[in-house]
Structure 1
């Protein structure tokens, strides 16, 4: 017997489906949830490997790969790391894209393709490793510059999906607290709701002010001033819309909590956008801000490119949270499940599912097939989302820098516009969730 109730008899599960997994310490759940979590784990492993490629020690080994580091590069240490991240991302993207195409039209777990989706994990890992190894032997040529274009388009698409997850989370959070306020100690929950909303708004105002202080200069940085001011005004507008009587009538549980969450995320997107501006006067690095008085810090254009930065860390944390949220979200009213055609997923913590009725120890939990009558989510969309997520991770970890003329790394305005546009789409999407019941009163938006 191995730790956590895992037995040697479960080793064949590496070549079979998730339904054969037995565990004493885990709650019973359906293969729909377990499969998504395993794919999320594979995605996180790929992300960890990409992060590893950017560490200074690994760059010394990457230089030994033929063609990865050619004399004349401005900063070979950073360049090979970025190119390695592109290769890892390419492998993950191709893997999930192939599965997305393969899973088009799967309706139930009785489809032979569903068995491939829910099992054969050992062979899937081998496939990822094989594609990844082969990717490192792709001739440089125009590969990196071309893959940057695909990465920017894919990352923008994933940001849109991330916005759907965020809006869904904000509405679910508010709904959960309002229900508790109506059913329990109303004064206590009202105080909690009001306090959290106030803290989020205060944080948003403070961060907007900090953006003005550090990312604008008198008589310059007109674009930054416009982005910050415009987004701050939009946040105020959507906050007012969320509490209008007409909106409240159509969406009784809409409120300032959701607006405060969206406002804080808008601040992040605004900062993420202006931190990619090519002009370093309007885009100081974090270390420059912290050491503004005591010591100057070199910028990428001056010859030093950080292999890691705050923007990448925050973007990575948000990605992990969204990935896990999309994997375990099971509410029938979830926009995530509507997006992935999931409407009746078995709850993860349902202890009544799969308890042994065939003489086995009732304490042993078995993953059960809950998709015999219909899939709980779109296999195609889930893999396509992970495909886009791979490109998002690539752009996030490389800070949307572009390898230019094969010897310099720089940030360009397209990255700024992609991110600032995503902030406007975020606010537009949230506004639509507020006014849709008013605009289309005959439709059900529950």
Structure 2
């Protein structure tokens, strides 16, 4: 209990190697967000609607009843899981938003508010539970509609920030390897650049072929044909632009490694969009694709194949391949940003750290001797200055909570009828738009030095 009321260093000092307080604290917050994500997933599990209907306000007249504000007959168990996800995400989002406001202008760990950020875990967990329980008693109607609008805006901002950091990471990776190539062992680093670039383009080409084979039909799936073709053309275009002499003149570090990475990520977003399409004829399951690749079935010429018609869903579920893969990628990105050293440039950009000089001023030896180091194993490295913006870190987790909510509920509108609510077209367009925004951001980083000649982009 005393550890639950103190800092993150006390929570993990016995089970973690030597680390910094700024890193351990972010790990704990990331773990709390992951727990809430798991809880939201449980709310969508089959059979949970029987338990959720017992909560006052969720299904006022019991299960399998008509919902007044929706068009047509919709069973309560169809979307009660989505309502529960909204409440869980609301609790986490409000928790992180309040902390974000509370942590504005915290400069060092000596600030009393820093103790709230790095400690008092028992009270913070109790606050999360209290907000979450209270959220389940919020009346339906205006709350869901308002929270849907906030979720759309917040999740879109989170996606945009992720895309900006992805483009920045691609450029940073290329610059790092080119610098090492210039320092020495040129052949080794050149081979590494060539290998990664070739691997990314080869994987992208394989994905494009698989997309045309499994996600298009000769006389159907027009949307998928458009998505694949337009993204293929755009990826080729940005790759060509990245090696144009004029671009190379103003941006010497521009190259095909960044383009190949952006191309591969665009192919992932394209697959994610197509995998959300409601038409099963144009959206085969991942298991079905693997089965066809492993054991292709030869159909006689005169045989008419009747596609299986899936049964109407008893409840709205998110358990499909693209949602699982998307959440896994999000979890990995979140853990990466949490466990990396505070001096890492990518974390600095994510958390808007003040300056590189402040990051490099580590205070490992300040206020702790060798004996104390062996006992605590986690040191306060923020006495002279915080390693990241507390306020922006919590704001990012606030946006992440909204992104998780919209991902699990397939970006559905609470005012939609049953047919619209079971459709995943909003998720399709969000994913495909994200791919276009990613390509546009990358293209802008290539042409910006040509357009804004009076600025220094080095």
User: TM-score scaled to structure 1, two decimals?
Assistant: 0.84
CA–CA separation in structure 2 for the residues paired with 1:386 and 1:105? 18
Whole-Å separation in 1 of the counterparts to 2:313 and 2:377? 58
Select the residue among 41, 45, 52 that pairs with 1:55: 45
The question of 1:140 aligning with 2:151 is answered: no
Q: For 1:76-225, what aligned pairs fall within 5 Å after superposition?
A: 79-183=79-183, 185-225=185-225
Asked if 1 retains the 8 angstrom alpha-carbon contact of 2:159 and 2:434, the reply is yes
Which secondary structure state, in structure 2, belongs to the residue aligned with residue 217 of structure 1?
coil
**CA separation of 1:442 and 1:31: change in aligned 2, threshold 3 A:** farther
Matches within 5 A, 1:336-351: 336-342=347-353, 343-344=355-356
Deviations for 1:260-289, whole angstroms, at most 9, x for unmatched residues?
A: 111111112222233334555444444565
Structure 2 CA distance for aligned equivalents of residues 63 and 49 of structure 1: 17
2:445 aligned partner: 433
Sort the Cα spacing of 1:333 and 1:20 in 2 relative to 1 into closer, same or farther, 3 A: closer
| Cα distance, 1:244 vs structure 2 | 2.6
Deviates more, 1:414-423 or 1:195-204: 414-423
Q: Which moved more, 1:375-384 or 1:167-176?
A: 167-176
CA contact (8 A) 1:300 1:306 kept: no
Matched, 1:313 2:324: yes
- Unaligned 5+ runs, structure 2: 67-73, 298-304
2:65 equivalent among 59, 72, 96: 72
Shift of 1:379: 1.9
How far apart are the structure 2 equivalents of 1:373 and 1:119? 19
- In structure 2, do the counterparts of structure 1 residues 138 and 304 end up closer, same or farther at CA, with 3 Å as the change threshold? closer
The separation in 2 between residues aligned to 1:388 and 1:153, in whole angstroms, is 9
Between the aligned partners of 2:263 and 2:51, the Cα distance in structure 1 is 43
Partner SS for 1:56: coil
Structure 2 contact 217–282 (Cα < 8 Å) conserved: yes
2:7 aligned residue (10, 17, 25) = 17
**One of 386, 394, 398 as aligned partner of 1:383:** 394
**Distance 1:231-1:178 versus aligned 2 partners, 3 A rule:** same
* Counterpart-to-counterpart distance in 2, 1:382 and 1:111: 17
Work out the CA distance in 2 between the residues paired with 1:207 and 1:193.
Answer: 21
Q: In the superposition, relative to structure 1, how do residues 300 and 324 fare at CA in structure 2: closer, same or farther (>3 Å)? A: farther
Candidates 398, 403, 408, aligned match of 1:392: 403
Contact residue 18 and residue 377 of structure 2 kept, 8 A: yes
Give TM-score scaled by structure 2 length.
0.82
| Distance in 1 separating the partners of 2:159 and 2:240 | 25
Aligned residues: 434
User: In the alignment, what sits opposite 2:275?
Assistant: 275
Q: 1:384, 1:295 → 2: CA distance?
A: 50
| Structure-2 residue corresponding to 1:360 | 371
Contact 2:22–2:382 (Cα < 8 Å) also in 1: yes
State how far apart, in whole Å, the 2-side matches of 1:19 and 1:302 are. Answer: 47
* 1:31-46 map, 5 Å: 31-46=21-36
Question: Residues 363 and 208 of structure 1: is their aligned pair in 2 closer, same or farther, counting only changes over 3 Å?
Answer: same
- 1:235 corresponding residue in structure 2: 235
Find the residue that maps to 1:363 and give its secondary structure.
helix
Within 1, Cα distance between the matches of 2:245 and 2:259?
16
Query: Cα offset for 1:313?
Result: 0.8
Give the superposition deviation at 1:378: 2.0
The answer for unaligned runs of 5 or more in structure 1 is 1-10
Q: How far off is 1:159 after superposition?
A: 0.8
Q: Is the 8 A contact 1:22 1:365 kept in 2?
A: no
Alignment check: 8 A CA contact 1:354 1:366 kept? no
